Amino acid sequence: MGDTMFGDLTAVRDGLKDVDYLADDGIASVVFLAEKLGKPVLIEGPAGTGKTELAKSVAAMSKARLIRLQCYEGLDEAKALYEWNYKKQLLRIQADRGSETSSEDWTELQDDIFNDEFLLTRPLLEAISAEEKIVLLIDEVDRVEVETEALLLEILSDYQVSIPELGTIEANQIPLVFLTSNNTRELSEALKRRCLFLHIDYPQLEREKEIVLTKVEGISDNLAEQVARIVRSIRQIELKKSPSVSETLDWARTLVLLGVQSIDVEQAKESLHILLKYQSDIEKTAKELTVEG
Amino acid sequence: MLDLMSGFVVELRNAGLPVSLTENLDAMEAVKHIPIEDRAAFKYALAATLVKNEQHWKAFETVFEVYFSLRGPEYNVLDEDGEIDEDSLEEWMSQQMRGMGGQGSAEDMSPEEIAEMLFRALMNADEAMMAAMARAAVTQFAGMEPGRPVGGTYYLYRTLRNLDLDGMMDRLMEEAQQRSDGDMTPLQERLEREEFENRIEDLKREIEAEIRRRLVADRGAEAMAKTLRKPLPEDVDFMHASREEMANIRKAIQPLTRKLAARLARKRKHKRKGPLDFRATVRQSLSYGGVPAEPRFRNPRPNKPELVVVADISGSVAAFARFTLHLVYALQNQFSKVRSFVFIDGLDEVTHMFQDEEDITNAVHRVNTEADVVWVDGHSDYGHAFGVFWENFGSEINSKSTVMFLGDARNNYHATNAWVVKETAKKARSVFWLNPEPKSYWDTGDSVITEYATHTDGVFECRNLRQLEGFVDNLA
Ligand SMILES: Nc1ncnc2c1ncn2[C@@H]1O[C@H](COP(=O)(O)OP(=O)(O)O)[C@@H](O)[C@H]1O
Ligand SMILES: [Mg+2]
């Protein structure tokens, strides 16, 4: 690993800012450390707080190729690691049977159909066999079953894959790995021990305002400040689902489109459905905002 | 550094954090890359290697503050081994006394002057000034003396009492009103107030940190850490949880119920094979030249198990019931069928209250006000409540049901009707009992837990999240 890939902490923070990602002390330190120690980072936190975006931004800032493995219930080795293209293999066998020279013996044919040409490379294998710098994003890892989690752990421990028919493929470079989790399920202790841990929560007021200013075109400093303050206020109400950063951004964009200069209660209430998903949350919040603090 | 780090890790373990050997080594490696002077980064780097559970962050932070607060450029009074360096300590103390350099010593400032400076600092969100005033306030008001065996809360209380922060809040709001020519909308006023509340919270934290630093300087890190030790969220007793702790517990319940549902579903899964997996079978066949020699099967779709919860919500378990209702609410989302019942001396079904209400607070409120759970006098009568349960709902228990009883089995010396549990167990897939009392109290006084327990698949002490999780894990 290049020892100076990220320079120092400030370089990480500035580098992320250059690609429009606003990091706080915690985020910057962990990214910096991950590269220094060559360890994967497990990012946990509520939805929409910039976990996925962080991995993408690190790739962008370090000019690495991003490889993403999106997890879902039922994701298995064949979709995560590799799979033999059996349709193509069958065709090959068929073709072989039909041809004149079918005297070819089975071992030879087997060698033939179990090689690179028939291998479907999935994200994990792709990340390991890549020649260039890689950021590997294993997104929403809490969705996979325990068995697949164990497979991930194995790969992240050895950075090698063994394919019975082909042999072992070792990584040329250790990719920078980010796993994200919305914490719908406890991950195994072993996986957590292997990783650096980063909890990303809703941002502090100042950072959220910065995010809004960076990501929402044409917004005034004053409006961004108000947006951030109102969102912070709403997050203090006990709701089924608090507004996330992505919802803050959607709301801010809407307000800009509507030409709002300064938010009053009515405008806030009318556009609450952009910030909040549940009707009961919208009603509760509308009521709260109307009464004086 | 080595000694300091190992003392630090020992204390984390004493505080209950599960730090493994690998993690300890990772931490040692991490601190090589981040200078201790960069305190925020240093702290996050250590946390990333040592704390793998967000719920443990607070405990970590406390220990960190104790072990590292007297290091770094401002307060360099600990030497390499974490021992107090008397010379620097003296210098630091006298700096504290002098308060803010240049403007006269903190000793000389009158309480009014401190209040005035603080007001301005809060108004302008001047962090440096706020920190300086926090130090001055501690020097002036806390009345700290070396060697006194008093805890930090006592000093904090004395300092805050003298600062009159409520009065400060009013002044800040008045000033804000004036600056906007008195035409703030209620919304603006709310936001302004919240902003000031936040700054005041920051100030309080700064004061607390300052007191802690002085206590550490006086007593040493180890002793200080020991006094500050608190149970981790998973060890907080449901019965004695504060509001804040309860909120944490609620957050942690959701993933736990999901795990419970998964565990119960998995138990079924092993029993039979699923349908033929065509693709996998063909893929496998390639090793045999296209002959499907080894058929492959899909995992069977796990059946969503059905859950029946019967919960005591009487006075003796009031605090537990608060937790129970949240548990039931969370469970409702994880199981295809959940039926919930609550009882005191009468019993009522409350399933619909949880289903109708999107908001948990409303649901709990409805249970507490609408559920018909009093039969005679509102003192626990398990026997009668179970009788009602069997009579009205016993016929609906079947081999898919998992039944969970929640309660302390304190029956006021009434008849137990334990046969209800026995009959339930005969029909149901499994029956568990979670008891919020410490094991040593079971079967003492009017507790008849064993009479019920003998008919169940297990009774578990369930006073905190760790035990609840243990119960769930043991189901596998
Ligand atoms: N720190 C940040 N800087 C810039 N944009 C951010 C930041 N945090 C969140 N966002 C924005 O919020 C949205 C949601 O982020 P995402 O990474 O998808 O959330 P998550 O993966 O945590 O659910 C994205 O549009 C992203 O651009
Ligand atoms: Mg995401």
One domain, residues B332 and B416:
yes
Between A and B, how many CB-CB pairs are < 8 A? 127
Task: Compute the half-sphere exposure of residue B476: CA atoms within 13 Å on the CB side of its CA.
Answer: 8
The Cβ of residue A207 has, within 10 Å, a number of other Cβ atoms equal to 17
Coil, helix or strand for A82? Answer: strand
DSSP B378: S
pLDDT higher than 50, residue A1:
no
Q: Which residues contact A259 (CB under 8 A, 6 or more apart)?
A: none
What are B339-354's pLDDT values in tens digits? 889 898 888 898 888 7
Q: What is the CATH number of the domain that holds B400?
A: 3.40.50.410
CA of A248 to the centre of ligand 1 (A): 10
Contact A224, A261 (CB under 8 A): no
CA of B283 to nearest chain A CA: how many angstroms apart? 6
Residues A162 and A250 placed together within one structural domain of the fold? no
Q: If you ran DSSP here, which 8-state letter would residue B403 be given?
A: E
Say what the ipTM of the complex is. Answer: 0.90
> Closest residue of A to B44, CA-based?
A26
pLDDT, mean of residues B303-311:
79
pLDDT band at B73 (very low <50, low <70, confident <90, very high): very low
Question: Do B338 and B265 lie in a common domain?
Answer: yes
Query: Left, alpha or beta for B87 (phi > 0: left; psi -120 to 50: alpha)?
Result: alpha
Tell me how many domains chain B contains.
3
Average pLDDT in the B195-206 region? 94
Contact of A199 with chain B, judged by CB distance below 8 Å, is answered with yes
| Cβ pair B222, B11 in contact under 8 A | yes
- pTM of the prediction? 0.84
Quick one: average pLDDT of B39-68?
93
- Predicted confidence band of residue A30 (pLDDT cuts 50, 70, 90): very high
By the CB < 8 Å criterion, does A44 face chain B?
Answer: yes
Query: Which ligand is nearest to the Cα of residue A24, counting in written order?
Result: 1
Q: B142, B174 in Cβ contact below 8 A?
A: no
Residue B271, pLDDT > 60, answer no
Q: Is A218 exposed, middle or buried (0-12, 13-18, 19+ CB in 10 A)?
A: exposed
For residues A228 and B254, the model is more confident at A228
Which of A199, A227, A245 is the last residue before a domain boundary? A199
> Do residue A29 and residue B283 have CB atoms under 8 angstroms apart?
no
| pLDDT (0 to 100) of residue A52 | 97
Q: Is residue A2 part of a domain?
A: no
> Which of A95-99, A130-134, B245-249 has the weakest average pLDDT?
A95-99
DSSP 8-state class, residue A204: P
A3 found inside a domain = no
Residues with CB under 6 A from ligand 1: A 20-22, 47-53, 180, 211, 215, 245-246, 249
- The tokens 């609906």 sit on which residue? B396
Distance CA(B47)–CA(A170), nearest Å, equals 31
Candidate of A246, A253, A274 to mutate for ligand 1, largest count of ligand atoms within 8 Å of Cβ: A246
Mean pLDDT of the region B300-325:
76
Residues A63 and A97 in one domain: no
| B114 and B257 co-located in one domain | no
Chain B hits for A293, CB-CB cut-off 8 Å, are 186, 189-191, 193-194
CA dihedral B377, B381, B383, B385 (to 10 degrees): 70
In B, minimum Cα distance to A7 occurs at B33
Q: Any CB–CB contact under 8 A between A84 and chain B?
A: yes
What confidence tens digit (pLDDT) does each residue in A116-168 have? 888 888 899 999 989 999 999 999 999 998 889 999 999 999 888 888 878 88
Please indicate, yes or no, whether residues A68 and A188 belong to a single structural domain of this protein: yes
- Could you tell me the CA-to-CA distances from B443 to B357, B361, B440 in Å, in that order? 37, 34, 8
Find chain B residues with C-beta within 8 A of A25's C-beta. Answer: 40-41, 44
Which amino acid does the sequence have at B219?
A: R
B354 contacts: CB under 8 Å, gap ≥ 6: B328, B329, B332, B338, B340, B363, B367
List the domain range (segments joined by +) for residue A146. Answer: 9-75+123-199
Q: Are B234 and A186 in contact (CB under 8 A)?
A: no
Asked whether residue A37 carries a pLDDT value surpassing 90, the answer given is yes
- pLDDT tens per residue across span B369-410: 777 777 767 788 999 999 999 998 988 898 888 899 999 999
Q: Is residue B420 part of a domain?
A: yes
Residues B286 and B215 in one domain: no
- Answer yes or no: do A33 and B48 touch at CB < 8 A: yes
CA distance A189 to B100: 48
- Residue of B25, B17, B24 lying closest to B52 (CA atoms): B17
